[in-house]
Amino acid sequence: MYRQFVNLIMHDQRSTLYSMRRLGIIPHLFHESPASDAQVAAANKKGCLSRISSCNHLPRPDINFALQPKMADVTPMHFFSLLRGQGDGCVMFTAPFGLTTVYDVAMQSVIAMPQANFSKPSDSIALSMTPRGDHYQLYVMGRAGVNGSFEVFNYCRAGAPTVGGERWWSWDPLPSPPQVEPYLHGSRMCPSAAAVLDETTICVSSIDGGAYTFDTVKCLWRQAGSWVLPFQGAAEYVPELGLWFGLEATCGGSPHHRLCAFDLSLSWPPVVQHAWDYLDDGLPDHWVPLKRHLVNLGSGRFCIATSFRAEVKHAVIAYGFSSDEEQVEIDEYTEATLLTGVDVVRCGSGALEMIKHKSRLYDIEGMNIRCVL
């Protein structure tokens, strides 16, 4: 079953407000009817479904999030995440110093949460697990490689039966990933990729520190090897296809815009079984990739968010000592985000194919998409 919306977390650079806006994936990112095998083949051959269109307007805000004035200098220390199992419109916001709230679209309400044990950078890796019944866990890991940057948020589905009539909501600190070998001034592994392997195991890797597994029941780390997971950020498991999916890791400072499929249960180190280019439209040379995020929409459907920094040259009139007019060029930088809708399907032969639906560019003056949930 597919999700119907993605949540855009926007940042207004003028007011410093964050807003959550709901974008319907149809018709913005996907076509209404599922692709047939013939359409898949045609799209992969001609790329006819991957034309980029620009969008100069946004959906109305569902809610705004504001930081206290004293937090203006620590704005990178904030974190947004979707709470799985609560629907596609339940978003958690962790402000600097661990202050946490949840906004539920269905209930049209803001819920105060227990305070987190540490501040979470915006690029933290989040992994969802369902240990039992209606209870869920969100594991959040900072990428800074410092002690005390890993914890779990325990929560339960709204309306779920609870013991003693109390709901289960809590932040619990966890042991940080092991120190890097050899021990360098007490430095710790800086996670670059992570995935849920099964109901009790998480796999984490770092470019500098190899791969480790974390037992969520025993709260123990074990070294898995000196290899690195073949993706960046969090991978998504698709049970209908029996594979994990992630965005290919950066190579030489320049990312390949490819969606990869692999089987983390088959062999270690994992081997990429499939890789598809999801951006092949000849991006402008002055677009520098900033960040990428994979949003799992269910059943092999994904929204891929790619943010770029674009350098723009402007000609302005300047006056020298002689008061003569002179045209000079100044460089300005803008940030734009490209949302791409893709389906991974199994064809009649059993092989996997990816079909690209629509790509939409959001480049709105004074507004940036900070993340897509």
Whole-number Å distance between alpha carbons of 79 and 239:
28
**Residues 102 and 115: beta-carbon distance below 8 Å:** no
Counted domains in the chain: 1
pLDDT in tens, the chain (373 residues): 789 999 999 988 777 789 999 999 998 999 876 554 445 445 555 544 445 777 768 889 999 998 776 665 555 678 999 998 888 899 999 988 888 999 999 889 998 899 999 888 888 999 999 877 678 999 999 876 566 689 999 998 665 555 555 557 899 999 988 765 544 445 567 889 999 999 999 999 987 778 999 999 999 999 998 899 989 999 999 999 999 999 998 655 556 789 999 999 877 889 999 999 998 656 777 778 888 999 999 999 999 999 988 766 555 555 555 555 555 555 567 788 999 999 999 988 889 999 999 999 998 878 889 999 9
Q: Phi, psi at residue 343, to the nearest 5°?
A: -120, 135
Backbone angles phi, psi at 37, to 5 degrees: -60, -40
* Per-residue pLDDT at 259: 96
Q: State which residues form the domain around 63.
A: 5-372
pLDDT at 63: 94
Q: Is 53 exposed, middle or buried (0-12, 13-18, 19+ CB in 10 A)?
A: exposed
Q: Considering the entire predicted model, what is its pTM?
A: 0.87
CATH number of the domain bearing residue 235? 2.120.10
Q: Are strands 352-362 and 325-346 parallel, antiparallel or unpaired?
A: antiparallel
Question: Could you tell me which of 84, 89, 108, 91 has the C-alpha nearest to residue 18?
Answer: 91
Q: What pLDDT does 299 receive? A: 94
The reported pLDDT for the residue numbered 210 is: 87
Residue 162: strand, helix, or coil: coil
Cβ atoms 209, 189 nearer than 8 A: yes
Q: Closest Cα to residue 301, out of 215, 240, 249?
A: 240
Q: For position 22, what pLDDT does the model report?
A: 96
Cα-based angle 65, 66, 71 (whole degrees, multiple of 5) = 135
335/309 Cα distance (integer angstroms)? 5
Side-chain-side CA neighbours of 109 within 13 Å: the count stands at: 6
In Å, what is the CA distance from 25 to each residue of 29, 104, 151, 340?
Answer: 5, 19, 32, 10
